[in-house]
Structure 1
């Protein structure tokens, strides 16, 4: 719930701390700014001049929720939870886990189950996604914000940041991480969904993606370890349409062309899931 992360939140206008008022429905800062919770339980902490887009649409979020609920990406969630627990064992677990680009909160919920003492902040630009993330876990709160702007979080408040197929703002991740904090990052390999990429003309993964990620993060985050997680999927045509419709391909694929392409595939269609799960630590502060 939002109360679990209240003490970590900051005002997007003046960066002062936020507190829920007596009604439990409005966050207020000492500077007089106020932010009402939506009836679905999330709060928007976007400044007035920030990103005005919606991010993932309601249709994309519905496709993602159905696909993940079916368990197709269970190996990714399991690898994340295992890596999160390994980051802190045998020491006490983190106080706050931040999921940057959390979507529906699916992965954050799995990690919080593995870290029973932690609270979780689900951050995303899509209110449609956060309507679900607000209910994803009893210890998670959901906040609308823009990953490319200053995050509405106190400096050094997070012991762990998750980033799964999402935008990566290295400077802000470093700012909100505690000294020695960790980033867990999941990115696709060139083999991820390769059978669908070729058959349906989907976006492909750059062979230099891992190097580019490390390079862009290098001023703020230092690689610790990484491993590939690869698994086989047997997808119905509906499953395949959902995995296409839940990510960036949704913006580039016409429904009629997708339907025609799927009709030419066997059912179920054998597909490879392949991702890199990488651990980074916050670089030392000057």
Structure 2
């Protein structure tokens, strides 16, 4: 077995062809579906299951900033909360918009019977995610389009600071499968918001989330809030790894943060919500 395709082989039975929906029958040397459609596997090990024009996703600079920031442990308590939400009996967990696979790796380390898959549109992120954990594969796909997954094949879907595709999530989750969502509250990183001009979180975000996920049963929701002390480099990375990184570079962000103390005390404030896919007859 080609080493780079071993993680893909672990999830081959949940993958579906993005062109025709047929089952995937091979992942070496390329991903091949039952009707003969073939898709490339990058040398780093991630498969490109993209149809039409690819969505660029986060840049290499944004991904490097995210990797540095998360590796420093600032969001470890968020990862721990996600781990607690994933049942030990789950078999396959998919992190949609999972970036570098940081949070999924923490889940896999705590759940030795679990197999993971990161879906993202950013090639720089997927290059890291594909090599992050021996039980985690990585696939390039558009989260807003049809997910390249078989219907009812997934036990847990993660949506962590990422866009959600409710209809596709319902489709790919098995009956009783779980969706774990992490969203920022209006207090999240409030200390940085004014200085950099970050987009403020809508006060009605939770209401909109519940409305968006009307086809799911709400299982629980808790706010996790704690303080982190960020040196100047960490503060820059925190801003750069988010949406602001699409239109501002590190130097511009550093100039915006110049008025803040070094280190700066920032608030991590997120809501961790768990939803269960409703039964077809409910």
For the aligned pair, the TM-score class normalised by the smaller chain equals over 0.9
Question: Secondary structure, in 3 states, of the residue corresponding to 2:66?
Answer: helix
Which of 45, 52, 72 aligns to 2:74? It is: 72
Q: 2:255 matched to which residue of 1?
A: 260
Distance, in Å, in 2 between the alignment partners of 1:113 and 1:41 is 20
Q: 2:185 matched to which residue of 1?
A: 189
Q: 1:37 matched to which residue of 2?
A: 41
- Give structure 2 stretches of 5+ with no counterpart: 1-6
Distance, in Å, in 1 between the alignment partners of 2:267 and 2:36 is 52
Length-normalised TM-score, structure 2? 0.94
Is this contact kept in 2: 1:109–1:137, CA < 8 A? yes
Count of residues in Structure 1 that have an aligned counterpart in Structure 2: 275
Distance, in Å, in 1 between the alignment partners of 2:135 and 2:49 is 19
1:2 aligns with 2:8: yes
Distance, in Å, in 2 between the alignment partners of 1:276 and 1:225 is 10
Deviation for aligned residue 1:128: 1.1
Distance, in Å, in 1 between the alignment partners of 2:255 and 2:26 is 51
Question: Secondary structure, in 3 states, of the residue corresponding to 2:233?
Answer: helix
1:15 aligns with 2:11: no
Q: 2:3 matched to which residue of 1?
A: none
Distance 1:26 1:256, change over 3 A: closer
Q: 1:113 matched to which residue of 2?
A: 109
Distance, in Å, in 1 between the alignment partners of 2:109 and 2:250 is 37
Distance, in Å, in 2 between the alignment partners of 1:260 and 1:247 is 17
Deviation for aligned residue 1:149: 0.8
Deviation for aligned residue 1:252: 4.3
Which of 193, 204, 207 aligns to 1:208? It is: 204
Is this contact kept in 1: 2:26–2:33, CA < 8 A? no
Length-normalised TM-score, structure 1? 0.93
CA RMSD, 1 decimal: 1.3
Is this contact kept in 2: 1:82–1:114, CA < 8 A? no
